[in-house]
Amino acid sequence: MLSSSVAHPSVNDLKRLIVERRITYPASLQQAMRLLLGNPGVIAFGTLRSVAQTCNVSETTIARLASHSGYSSFKEMQGAFRQHLVLIATPHDPPFEQQRPL
């Protein structure tokens, strides 16, 4: 379970914590988290029921996954994944019209 010193991690924070082995998951939660990290749209745009079905686990397991990952609820974890999709979809360079001429 995630330490209380890190509240509401971003998806990038979550990935880092997993890589650093500061958060580990039991087998069923690990399977679901792998799927969600590989396919963030599943949780970003899904319901608790559809996410559970896609991960082939119960709704309770997805709720436990959220809690185990440092979120207060499925909705909070879903919000983090939505924000992640916004961040990776947002261009980091200014639009062409705003660029200065050479």
User: Domain boundaries in the chain?
Assistant: 30-87
Tens of pLDDT, residue by residue over 25-63, are 999 999 999 999 999 999 999 999 999 999 999 999 999
Mean pLDDT of 83-93: 84
* Class of the domain covering 30-87: mainly alpha
For 102, the 3-state DSSP assignment is coil
Q: Cα 18 to chain center, whole Å?
A: 12
